[in-house]
Amino acid sequence: MQLGLGCATRHRAFGKRFRRVANALEPLIQALGELRIDHRDHDGLLVGVTDDHCQEFFEIVENSERFLQVLVGCRPDVIDEELHQHLIATIRRVIGLCPLTSEERHRCESLISGFVSSSFERKQQASD
């Protein structure tokens, strides 16, 4: 399952924060990319994040390619941890829009849950 994250921002600090958090999500993106899932409708998922809309903003964007593309909003003053959680929740939401089998959905959720718990453990170890 291909997954792409991108950012369109008005605030330079938000763009830097997004790149930092997106880099931390790279292992998850790679792991999802290694899943062999045959989509009848989509070859992959594209998630665009903007600080130009509120945190609740979520829009499916028409795409002439075979990608499910969404645009989500985010507060420009969000901190790294909040942005990280927002992106994880968005990835889960977008995967939920895909016509997956229950086994495929379970594999995706297992990867995401494992990534989230390992991220939490690394933070705990760093603070000790």
pLDDT in tens, 57-71: 999 998 888 889 999
Please state, in angstroms and rounded to a whole number, the distance separating the CA atoms of residues 7 and 126: 28
CA dihedral for 5, 32, 78, 127, sign (positive or negative): negative
pLDDT < 70 positions in the chain:
38-40, 120-128
**Pairing state of beta strands 67-73 and 58-61?**
antiparallel
Please state, in angstroms and rounded to a whole number, the distance separating the CA atoms of residues 79 and 54: 15
7: left (phi over 0), alpha (psi -120 to 50) or beta: beta
Which pLDDT value is given to residue 107? 92
